[in-house]
Amino acid sequence: MDANELDELYQELIMDHGRRPRNTGSAAEANHHAHGHNPLCGDKLALSLRVEGDVVVDVKFLGEGCAISTASASMMTQAIKGKRVEDVLALYHRFHLLVTEGDETPETLATLGKLGAFAGVRRFPTRVKCASLAWHTLDAALRPDATRQVTTE
Ligand code: ZN
């Protein structure tokens, strides 16, 4: 498989999640919540999680926004469900490096798995905010002290 084929596969993955997002709704007995807003594009997101001990046992989102923000939220929920909070935050860090700094080292790509599909958004600075919104919102939801409303501006 060459780089172009991989690119196409990744684009299909993002389009599929943009059209048919997974894990939509509200998590049952959620104990972590946050709202995110990206005014530049108009993306809005409400995220709810059920964390037991240090494991994310359930996560769902309700969103209104572009295909990139929807796909990112959908793929994020799949990636973090069942993971320890510590590993989720490490994933957030890697995702951030990928879309803002183009960190495509083998270590980062191996950690991110399918989320590596978002590498291409780095070329479109306004889209970085769309792709990052779900992750910023997640970070806010998991902080014990911080505000529950995040904005990319
Ligand atoms: Zn957007």
Residue 151 pLDDT exceeds 90: no
C-alpha 151 – ligand 1 centre gap (Å): 12
52 C-alpha vs ligand 1 centroid, how far in Å?
Answer: 31
Instruction: Give which of 56, 58, 68 is closest to 24, Cα–Cα.
Output: 58
Number of domains in the chain: 1
Q: Give distance in angstroms: CA of 149 to centre of ligand 1.
A: 17
Range of the domain at 92: 3-146
Q: Determine, yes or no, domain membership for 79.
A: yes
Residue 77 lies in a domain: yes
| pLDDT (tens digit per residue) in 111-147 | 999 999 999 898 888 899 999 999 999 999 998 765 5
Q: Is the pLDDT of residue 6 over 70?
A: no
H runs (alpha helix) in the chain: 3-19, 67-80, 85-101, 106-112, 125-142
- Over residues 75-92, the pLDDT tens digits come to 999 999 999 999 999 999
State pLDDT tens for residues 7-45: 787 889 999 999 999 999 999 999 999 999 999 999 999
Q: What is the structure's pLDDT at 2? A: 66
Cα 138 to Cα 143: distance, rounded to the nearest angstrom: 9
- Establish if 153 belongs to a structural domain: no
In a domain, 152, yes or no: no
Using a CB cutoff of 5 Å, list residues around ligand 1, an ion. Answer: 41, 43, 66, 69, 130
Distance CA 135, CA 66 (A): 15
